[in-house]
């Protein structure tokens, strides 16, 4: 997965960080976020975009989540 945009942010001594406003607005963050540890990376997503527990069993099964994420972004063509 290639980053579209990166920004260096600070982490306070209380382990708090600030999501850059541009990212916050673009991704639709509100008052909660979901943090997931995947392959040594911390992924922070708006809580409103992630149904609670929907993929927990799938992730625990050992699926490579980066490959899955890329696969889910591919267009699907249906023939009727």
pLDDT greater at residue 71 or residue 20: 20
Percent of the chain surpassing pLDDT 70: 57
- How far lies 39's CA from each of 19, 36, 58, 67, in Å? 21, 10, 15, 11
pLDDT of amino acid 48: 79
pLDDT beyond 70 at 16? yes
34-49: per-residue pLDDT in tens? 888 888 888 898 987 6
Encoded tokens for 54: 């929907």
* CA angle centred on 39, ends 61 and 37, rounded to 5°: 80
């Amino acid at each position: 997965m290639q980053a579209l945009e990166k920004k260096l942010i600070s982490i306070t001594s209380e382990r708090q960080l600030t999501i850059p406003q541009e990212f916050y607005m673009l991704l639709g963050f509100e008052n909660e976020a979901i943090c997931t540890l995947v392959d040594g990376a911390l992924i922070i997503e708006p809580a409103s975009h992630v149904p609670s527990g929907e993929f927990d069993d799938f992730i625990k099964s050992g699926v490579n989540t980066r490959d899955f994420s890329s696969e889910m972004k591919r267009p699907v063509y249906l023939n009727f």
